[in-house]
Amino acid sequence: MAESTSLPVLFVTDNIVLPGMVVPIALDEAARAAIDAAQASDSGQLLIAPRLEDRYPSHGVVAKILQIGRIAGGGTAAVVRGERRAQIGVGANGPGAALWVEVTEVPPAEVTVEVKALASEYKKLLLAMLQRREAWQIVDYVNSLTDPSALADTSGYASYLTDQQKRQLLETTDVGERLRVLIDWTGEHLAEVEVTDKIAEDVRDGMEKTQKEFLLRQQLAAIRKELGEGEPDGSDDYRARVESADLPEKVQEAALREVGKLERASDQSPESGWIRTWLDTVLDLPWNVRTEDSTDLVAARAILDADHHGLDDVKDRIVEYLAVRTRRARRGLQVVGGRGSGAVMALAGPPGVGKTSLGESVARALGRTFVRVSLGGVRDEAEIRGHRRTYVGALPGRIVRAIGEAGAMNPVVLLDEIDKVGSDYRGDPSAALLEVLDPAQNHTFRDHYLDLDLDLSDVVFLATANVIENIPSALLDRMELVQLDGYTEDDKVAIARDYLLPRQRQRAALSDDEVTVTDAALRKIAADYTREPGVRQFERLLAKALRKVTTKLAEDPVPTTPTIIDETDLVGYLGRPRFTAESAERTAVPGVATGLAVTGLGGDVLYIEVGSAGSDGPGDGSLQLTGQLGDVMKESAQIALSYVRSHAEELGIDSKALNGRIHVHVPAGAVPKDGPSAGVTMVTALVSMATGRQVRSDVGMTGEVTLNGRVLPIGGVKQKLLAAQRAGLSTVFIPSRNEPDLDDVPAEVLEALSVTPIADVADIVSQALQPAAESTQAAA
């Protein structure tokens, strides 16, 4: 064990002294006392230790005084050299005014193979950093060191280490541990230095490149000036392009003003880039380009009929538009531009009836270009009107971009899914569409980015929607509404035979001679495999069947006979039928009536179920509603129950039958339901439950009911009757005031259904319920 000795101690605050370091120390009163005491002692040594604020130091360095002299400013300093690491013990007595302590010198560490490896790795890192700084003299000194402890203690001169880290090195007596932490610290610092140098080099190279390009551009400009040539991409070129372009007068004036700003702006100014982009956008728009409309009305109608089956309302409106424009042209009247010269139509109906594809057919019939603008999910008003040029990355709105894509000022623009437009803090896109879709205003439409009047009056706008109620009333008022209520079974068979089947044959690489689908099979698919207003699912089923035929042909490339898909073959190709007539099953018990409803997917049947807990049950006289009903539908149930109770005697109901808790349920509880048109169905179901008489299974009904039993008109008569036909019903009761709506219903639907207009709900009840004897026999 090392012996302890007494040495005067000098506490320093400005630096940490490690063994091997030679440092100057300014001599204040305490330092002078320690130096004097050391010189007076036999060893001539003193202990230098760091002054800590939180604790007494545990280690210091035994140092030797090399020189004492004056420094600049008249002060005195001593130069000392740290020699050995020592552990500080208790205080001791000694001569002079200095503080003495007992110290125990740390013995030299054993140099193991691991310590030598650590020393070698640290030396490599240290030399790499010194070479990066080009400190070649220090490199030679470090190369000459062979003692691992001395090598580690050279870190006392490292400027990248903090005093806290150096103090940790002083107090770490194990050489291997010191080398490990030094390797970590030095490696991290070297990585930071390399990144910093790389960034500085990139910045320097970028600045040199920018300066070089600037000088070259100045020289190029001077050369072009001497040769009399203009800048090909500069403001002179834009002025020539604007002056030669076929622009309206006001647009050309605005463009020339922007060219003047570009000429005055510096090439390095961000504004010059914005102006160039704006000028490019203006010059790319077809300000005075218009396509010639077709004047052959017969050919236009033939194109529409060839592309789509039915949809006569839309086809008639397009032919009327062409007829008016052709007549005005023949009489020399203005037909291009101006207030109200365009057409704006809203095609509303369930999915799959051909709304979107109709836009392309309309463009072909008119002889115009076609552009589709999808509005589903658009929530930013700037998507319609554009961004102002003050914003970074500003662009014109979708309407202006559509005109640019079309290459003419009179295209057919399809605004797809206009009922799916949203609104949030960024604005309401539907409000921005008010001007676009108003024939009385859109001849001066102003986009925020262009800030110029754009004439949209000659554009034919077609908007598509599934749910009319989701379109703001002010916007709907500006469009001509055309309802597409879905197809009858005959329509679907004709569409499949003439349109869908040829298209799917081509996609499956089949010819007419290789596969045939009979009309009976098509009718079976329409009746039992799909219950949709459109034909989208119908086409998927045809594609599925033809894919199976293609697979069979791949296994047997040379079939003996062509494949014929008949009604009896559908189970093998499409599986079992997905839909069967269920009205008879659902209405087999009293208290269930069949209603008709309209959803975003078209018409559908709706079953109303009513039950009673009995007069002795809890909650006598209360009404319980289930099936996720909306407020309006809940009120209809209250009204229906009030009517039945007030007219119980007239309806042949025992008053006690309605004293218990009445439960009204509308199945498919996961689907929200609302609207007043189920009122008559609820009355019929309540009377059926109270009297025990079943509702006829072939009867459907729709209509709003009042407390007095009056049947009020409802909407969607055509869609509801189509749904009744698909469900296999034969008798439908509708409000009397909806009788004029039957003019829009296809003749084959009216032939298949017995539609009875009713003004009083009591008449529906009397005709819809089976006689008591039949109900009792059916129940038995």
Q: Measured at the alpha carbon of residue 237, what is the angle toward residues 231 and 238, in degrees to the nearest 5?
A: 135
The distance from CA 533 to its chain's CA centroid, rounded to whole angstroms, is 29
Q: Can you tell me the distance from the alpha carbon of 67 to that of 79, in angstroms, rounded to the nearest whole number?
A: 5
For residue 350, say whether it is annotated as part of any ligand binding site.
Answer: yes
The secondary structure of the chain in percent helix, strand, coil, rounded to multiples of 5, reads: 45, 20, 35
Q: Is 11 helix (H, G, I), strand (E, B) or coil?
A: strand
User: Inter-axis angle of helices 270-284 and 398-406, to 10 degrees?
Assistant: 50
* 354 annotated binding-site participant: yes
Structure tokens at 340: 């109200």
Q: Is 346 exposed, middle or buried (0-12, 13-18, 19+ CB in 10 A)?
A: buried
State yes or no: 353 annotated in a binding site: yes
**Catalytic hit among 149, 272, 677, 688:** 677
Rounded Cα distance, 138 and 158, in Å: 12
Backbone angles phi and psi of 618, in degrees to 5: -70, 150
- Catalytic hit among 155, 524, 720, 775: 720
Q: What count of other Cβ atoms lies within 10 Å of the Cβ of residue 426?
A: 12
Nearest to residue 738, comparing CAs of 596, 547, 627?
596
Q: Is 341 a catalytic residue?
A: no
Surface-to-core class of residue 241, CB atoms within 10 Å of its CB (0-12 exposed, 13-18 middle, 19+ buried): middle
Contact between 499 and 546 under an 8 Å Cβ cutoff? The reply is no
Other residues' Cβ atoms within 10 Å of the Cβ of residue 229: 10
Q: How far apart are CA 309 and CA 306, in angstroms?
A: 8
d(CA 485, CA 352): 11
Range 239-246 contact pairs with CB under 8 angstroms and sequence separation of 24 or more: 239/263, 241/279, 241/283, 242/279, 242/283, 245/283, 246/287, 246/288
Contact between residue 714 and residue 677 where contact means Cβ atoms under 8 Å apart: yes
673 is in an annotated binding site: no
Is 675 annotated as belonging to a binding site? no
Question: What residues have CB less than 8 Å from 28, skipping those under 6 apart?
Answer: none
The answer to whether the beta carbons of residues 383 and 431 sit under 8 Å apart is: no
Amino acid at 172: T
Burial of 33 (0-12, 13-18, 19+ CB in 10 A): middle
Q: Is 720 a catalytic residue?
A: yes
Instruction: Check whether 349 is labelled as a binding-site residue.
Output: yes
**Nearest in space to 393 (alpha carbons), one of 311, 500, 273:** 273
Closest CA to 115 of 182, 185, 31: 182
356 assigned to a ligand binding site: yes
Q: Identify the DSSP state of 424.
A: B
Q: Whole-angstrom Cα distance, residue 247 to residue 454?
A: 12
Its sign, for the CA torsion 125, 178, 184, 49, is: negative
> Is the CB of residue 496 less than 8 Å from the CB of residue 538?
yes
Residue 723 to residues 67, 309, 599, 716: CA-CA distances in angstroms?
Answer: 111, 19, 11, 11
For the chain, count helices (H), then strands (E).
Answer: 28, 24
Question: 604 with 711: CB under 8 angstroms?
Answer: no
Q: Which of 388, 412, 413 is nearest to 399 (CA)?
A: 413
Residues 6+ apart with CB under 8 A from 655: 645, 648, 649
Give the active site residues. 677, 720
Going by the annotation, the residues of the binding site for ATP are 349-356
Going by the annotation, the residues of the binding site are 349-356
